[in-house]
A = this chain, B = another copy of it.
C-alpha cells in the first residue's frame, strides 16, 4: 500500500551526457522519482564526473560509450551532435530500448530536405518511424512511438506560439521571427565565439533570414498543422545570441487580417487550456519566468492601427527546448504521468493525465 515501495524504477541511459543538454537531462533523470540512470556516456570525458565539467552539474560518473550496456535499459536519450546520432539511434533501437533523440537527425520528415539541410546520412526506415515530439501538439503519436525526435529549441519556442494561429488559418503573409537565445544553446565545446569575452556586452545576430537549420523545422511544423491544401506561411527567422546562460525569447510578428490581438489570445488560450507547462497571457512573455523550468510562456500584444499582432514566446532552451521536453516525451512513452519529475507535486500515479 506504500507507494514508494511499490514504485518500479525504470532503467534509462544517456548517450552524450557531457554537453549542456546532456548534462541538464542527467540532472533531471537523477531527480526523477521513477527513472533510474544506468549509464551516462561521454567520449571526451569518460572516467570523470559530470560535476568536474561544471560544478552546477550533479556528481555522476561518465563512462565511455563502449561501456554502456544498451540492453540494460528501457529507454535511451541520445544527446549527440547531428550526424553522429543517426547511426547510434539505429543501433539502440535494434538492441531493444526506445529512444528520445535530442539531435536533429530524425526531425525532418522529408528525406531530400534532411539531406540538403544537414548533409549527413540517416537510416530511411528509422526515419519513417520517428515521431516529432513537440509534446503538446503531438502527444498522441508520442505515446505510441519507439523513437521520438525531440524538437530543437528555437522550433519549440516559435511553433508553440505560431502553430495554433496557422491551424486556425488566421495568418496571412510571412511570419517574422526574431529569436534571442542564451549561450548554453551553443554547447560546452570550446569555441572562440562562445568565450565570455566574445559574448559579453553584445547581442550577436547570426544566420539571419533563411540560413539557420531550425527555420526548416519551424516551417515543417507550421505546414503540418496548416488547414488542408493551404501552404504554410513563409518563415523569416532571425536568431541572436544574447549574454545570458539560459533561456530564449522569440518575438514574432504576424499579419492576422480580420483577427484582433484578442482573437489571437483566445486561440492560444483555447489551444493550451489545461496544459500544465504552457502559460498564455496578455503581456509579453518573459525569460525570467521560465528559465530553469520546464515551462513555456506565451504573450500577445497588439499593434494599434494595423492588422498585425506580436506573439512572444519564452522557454528555457535547455528545459522545454531540450531536456525537459525529452523527459515529457519519455514519460509518455513509458506510461508515466507526462510531467513527472518536472513539476513539484506531481508524483507517479498509475493513471496518466
The residues of A with any CB-CB pair to B shorter than 8 Å are: 1, 3-4, 20, 31, 33, 51, 53-56, 174, 176, 178, 180, 183-184, 188, 190-192, 194-206, 208-211, 234, 236, 238, 240, 242-247, 249, 251, 253, 284-289, 291-292, 299, 301-306, 308-310, 312, 344-345, 347
Q: Measured between alpha carbons, how far is A183 from B20 in the docked complex, in Å?
A: 21
Q: Measured between alpha carbons, how far is A28 from B229 in the docked complex, in Å?
A: 51
Q: Which of B234, B246, B287, B310 contacts A238 (CB 8 A)?
A: B310
Q: Which of B192, B285, B292 contacts A292 (CB 8 A)?
A: B292
Assuming the A-B contacts A201-B247, A238-B253, are A286 and B55 also in contact, with contact meaning beta carbons closer than 8 angstroms in the complex?
A: yes
For A195, what are the chain B residues with a Cβ–Cβ distance below 8 Å? 183, 188, 190, 194-196
Interface hub of A192, A200, A203, A345 (most chain B Cβ within 10 A): A203
Q: Which of B56, B176, B234 contacts A288 (CB 8 A)?
A: B56
Q: Measured between alpha carbons, how far is A292 from B292 in the docked complex, in Å?
A: 10
Question: Is the beta-carbon distance between A209 and B310 smaller than 8 angstroms?
Answer: yes
Q: Which of B53, B205, B305 contacts A284 (CB 8 A)?
A: B205
Question: Is the beta-carbon distance between A200 and B245 smaller than 8 angstroms?
Answer: yes
Closest-CB distance, A349 to chain B (whole angstroms): 10
Closest-CB distance, A5 to chain B (whole angstroms): 12
Q: Closest B-chain residue to A286, C-beta based? A: B55
For A285, what are the chain B residues with a Cβ–Cβ distance below 8 Å? 205
The quantity of this chain's copies bound in the complex is 4
Give 13 A-B contacts (CB < 8 Å), ordered by A residue: A55-B288, A174-B306, A190-B191, A196-B196, A202-B247, A203-B242, A204-B287, A205-B312, A208-B303, A209-B301, A210-B305, A236-B306, A236-B310
Closest-CB distance, A23 to chain B (whole angstroms): 10
Question: Is the beta-carbon distance between B55 and A289 smaller than 8 angstroms?
Answer: yes
Q: Measured between alpha carbons, how far is A303 from B287 in the docked complex, in Å?
A: 27
For A249, what are the chain B residues with a Cβ–Cβ distance below 8 Å? 203, 205, 240
Q: Measured between alpha carbons, how far is A178 from B200 in the docked complex, in Å?
A: 20
Q: Which of B53, B203, B253, B291 contacts A56 (CB 8 A)?
A: B291
Q: Which of B174, B206, B288 contacts A202 (CB 8 A)?
A: B288
For A303, what are the chain B residues with a Cβ–Cβ distance below 8 Å? 208-210, 236
Q: Which of B198, B209, B244 contacts A54 (CB 8 A)?
A: B198
